[in-house]
Amino acid sequence: MKLANYVYGQWIEGAGEGTALNDPVTGEALVRVSSDGVDVAHALEFARTVGGAALKALTYEERAAKLGAIAELLTAKRAEYFDISLRNSGATEGDAAFDVDGAIFTVKSYARAGKALGAARHLKEGSRVALAKTDVFQAQHFLMPLAGVAVFINAFNFPAWGLWEKAAPALLAGVPVFVKPATPTAWLAQRMVADVVEAGILPPGAISIVCGGARDLLDHVTECDVVSFTGSADTAARMRTHPNVVARSVRLNIEADSVNSAILGPDAKPGTAEFDLAVKEIVREMTIKTGQKCTAIRRILAPAGTARALADAVSGKLAGCKVGDPRSEGVRVGPLVSKAQQAAAFEGLAKLRQECEVVFGGDPDFEPVGADAAVSAFVQPTLLFCDKGLAARFVHDVEVFGPVATIVPYAGTADAIAIARRGHGSLVASVYSGDAAFLAELVPAIADLHGRVMVVDAAVGANHTGHGNVMPTCLHGGPGRAGGGEELGGLRALAMYHRRCVVQGGPAVLDALSRDAVDAALLGA
């Protein structure tokens, strides 16, 4: 079966044989995708003119209601999405829940939050500014929805959540979305879009999807569009310098590589709640989705006197994690999504091993449960130990996108800060400590290079939302090598899909424009 593309209000099957999407456990070809023959320029213009006009005719609360209907539909079809996730991504039930349920939860969150914006269609920012000695001439700042389309070029690891965490705020803002999912796992995103289209929840042109190569997509974006990309730093660099993107100053949001850290404080010794909480979270981050998360823990910073005990504790937990076909009983860790990703992980792991000691995993004769190692895409969870600190290179520069993490001992707080910052910008760091002095020094010193810092102590316990779990009400993104982008953060995400402008004129003009506006301060509420 070849998956059709939904563009200009109709389903179009791409030309040619297309690319096969495979089961990463068995190697079986499941479906095929092709974008050949799709008129991308026409598809984008249809989305802008037809989809955009229909969405902007609705109020924020009416768009929020449509998001609520989408959430109900996705919930009703949850079991079908889990099945596709298992077959196309090799996802365990926990992995599928992380992606699919995360998508549903995010759409529901924006459906609820959007109601607060009420029967408005744009945003008013701040008070009026007097520009004359009397009130005859004034200025008012507004945030107006973009007239273009939100183009999403997504990553393979979250075909469900990656789609809806971007689409929900864009649709709420009144901007149509055009989705180009990563080819290896495009099936789930395509099915979700197909279900929404079939249900007739959104007006024609409000959502489009193209599966397969991006081809000339960036040649046709305009100054009124937004392009949001999640993927490698190399691809991001090519997008930033694309001639059309540069010439038209296209708004670009990037989430790229990230060597995230978990940091144990000096008080997080064996036997403490903070130590145990760190061990649990490290193992979870190495195994959920087989470490294929942009937010996963890659470096584990621990006091020199604690690092070996931590390695032993994590290794002991990993030894109890069954790795293999998710269809097999008791399996907790599945495969990577493809043989190509497996090869990339092995290549990165080989670099890490040049400056690290393997303390768990790395067995060349590893045999997954219920699967043929020759045709499947498994990588054994691997824990490494690097005592070179800042002198190491690959540990701080290479993100192995799989179940691989490295423990790095540090000598003191200043050393921990320097090592954390050596990642040159990350999505998240989690800190396990109840030491107020340590936290007061560490957190402000690393905050500018991290989109999110999660602090866990004994009082927080197991009530935290997780190192790698992105909450729709909180910022997702990071500076530097993490891409410099920002997503989510509750209603703050709508700012990307609006353009700030100031209107100068008489009170009557500003009154008329303000009647259809709601206070932009609600975005930060």
Contact (CB, 8 A) for 516 and 121: yes
What Cα–Cα distance (Å) separates residue 237 from each residue in 251, 257, 370?
A: 14, 12, 40
- Options 255, 281, 285, 399, the catalytic residue: 255
In whole angstroms, what is the distance from residue 173 CA to residue 491 CA? Answer: 10
- The DSSP secondary structure of 123-146, one letter per residue, reads EEEEEEEE-SSSTTSEEEEEEEE-
Three-state SS for 243?
helix
Structure tokens given for 299: 């470096």
Helices and strands counted in the chain (H then E): 17, 23
Adjacent-strand bridge partners of 142: 124, 501
Report the phi/psi class of residue 449: left, alpha or beta, with left for phi > 0 and alpha for psi in -120 to 50.
alpha
DSSP 3-state assignment of 196? helix
As given in the structure block, the two tokens for residue 71 are: 């959430």
| 138-145 β-sheet, strand order | 498-505, 138-145, 122-130, 517-519
The Cα–Cα gap between 525 and 509 comes to 28
Q: What SS3 state is found at 333? A: strand
What single-letter DSSP state applies at residue 49? I
Question: Whose CA is closest to 258, among 479, 488, 486, 430?
Answer: 479
Catalytically annotated residue among 165, 281, 285, 294:
294
294 is catalytic: yes
Q: The tokens 């978990």 sit on which residue?
A: 262
* Alpha helices, DSSP H, located in 422-519: 436-446, 507-514
Cα angle 170, 173, 179 (rounded to 5 degrees) comes to 20
State the Cα torsion 227-184-261-495 to the nearest 10°.
Answer: 20
Which two tokens mark 113?
Answer: 């939050």
Positive or negative: CA dihedral 412, 413, 417, 420: positive
| Residues annotated as catalytic (active site), given as ranges | 255, 294
